[in-house]
Amino acid sequence: MTEVSADLGTGRASVGAVLDFAWTAAEFTATEVMAGTALTRSTAIDAVDTLVSAGILRELPNARMAGTYRSGRPARRFELVPDLGVVVGIDAGDTHLAVTVADPLRTTLVQHRTEVDPEETPEERRAIIIDRLRDALAEAGRTRDDLLAICVGVAAPVNRDGISPPHPDRFWERTNPGLAAALRDWAPAVEIKNDALLAAVAEGTQGAAIGCRDYVALLAGERFGGGVVVDGHLLHGAHGGVGEGVVFDHIIGVGSAFGLAPALHHQLLAAVDAGEVDVNSAVGRLADAERIDPRRVLALAASGDPDALLIAGQLGETVARVVGVLGSMYDPERVIICGAVAESIEPVLVAARAALPSQLHLPAPQVLASSLGADVVSLGAVASARRAARERAVPLLAERRLAARA
């Protein structure tokens, strides 16, 4: 429920109810507000008029002026003001940075994605994030004054204050370089969240988990990390560490929190060394690369290449062990493999599904590939920023505007 101060005059509950209704409605009348909120007519009209006075809702031309009036008194029609401000979602990954500027409802205005150096210092990383934020706002023709909410996804556990715990190799300090403090004054609502948690938000709002109350969104490209939803609730933990991938360092057959891209490279090298894959084959020639794009191998597997299918099958056994752990810990209905690697991962999932039943005693969850691609964290960040704008920033904006008119 939107939090609205009593300063809004007609009562926080009624104004909040109307504001919630307005976010999901396009055009609406007072009668529709009554049906959607259970408010009386007079209370609904008072709350609507308060929000119109605050510049949060606007009254549209009535049916007579719009040319659709037939008979009787035309109803007053309203909508949320479309230009209240903007929200920003940021995917601050280990090797990439994506910044999205969007309106509070449904339209993306600007989206930038760039590669970043994983060896940057925390200070360098923080400066780059802020510079890219400024650049994206400028391209959208907006300023800091237009910001309602910012949500940043980072490859680290994050507590409820936006702070990550110390990491033995300072990895978490570099991926979340004091962003809560650095961005605090940029918008009325600023959130720093774990990237896998935001992937779970995206899958639940627009991906493979719509309507599902128990699922894990597994970011599996460079590192394993899970966003966990149980009984319809995102799990967080005292330090934001639910779903943290370090557990896989201790799982036989997985052995590392590093994700499918490093695992595929390791398995390919091992298969070449063992003579299972010809070094001169299409797949074998990739083994000498410093870095392998797993999608190249998986595309070959999808086309039936026997060497690629061998690697995909071995990788599927790794995925089955990972999903088996998640299945035993959280009992999800679905585990959704997310990130850029999901676009071509089906040959791996075929093998994983076959191996999975032996990995746990509970019924095996469905293992699905996300359809949201490399943008999954960005989509979750924007969705979370929009929710923060709806619940916190816009009510604050209404209070300030009404106070200025008083």
Domain residues of the chain, as ranges?
6-81, 86-204+376-392, 208-371
CATH, domain range 86-204+376-392: 3.30.420.40
Q: Is the pLDDT of residue 65 over 60?
A: no
Domain 6-81: top CATH class = mainly alpha
Pick the range with the lowest mean pLDDT from 72-76, 149-153, 205-209. Answer: 72-76
Q: Determine the pLDDT at residue 379.
A: 98
pLDDT at 360: 92
> What average pLDDT does range 139-159 have in this prediction?
96
- Assigned fold of 208-371: Nucleotidyltransferase; domain 5 (3.30.420)
pLDDT in tens, 205-263: 999 999 999 999 999 888 889 999 999 999 999 999 999 887 877 777 776 777 888 88
With bands split at pLDDT 50, 70 and 90, how would you rate the model's confidence at 1? low
The pTM of the full predicted model, rounded to 2 decimals, is: 0.89
Q: pLDDT digit string (tens) for 332-376? A: 999 999 998 898 999 999 999 999 999 999 999 999 999 999 999
- Checking if the pLDDT of 158 tops 80, the result is yes
Higher pLDDT, 101 or 106: 101
Is residue 4 pLDDT above 60, yes or no? no
Which pLDDT score, from 0 to 100, does residue 6 have? 42
Which one is predicted more confidently, 201 or 64? 201
Beta bridge partners of 150: 88, 190
Residue 3 pLDDT = 52
pLDDT surpassing 70 at residue 10: no
Per-residue model confidence as pLDDT tens digits over 376-397: 999 999 999 999 999 999 988 8
Which range among 58-67, 161-170, 305-314, 319-328 shows the weakest confidence by mean pLDDT? 58-67
- Sign (positive or negative) of CA dihedral 81, 82, 83, 88: positive
208-371 and 86-204+376-392 share a CATH fold: yes
The model's pLDDT over 307-319, given as tens digits with 9 standing for 90+, comes to: 999 999 999 999 9
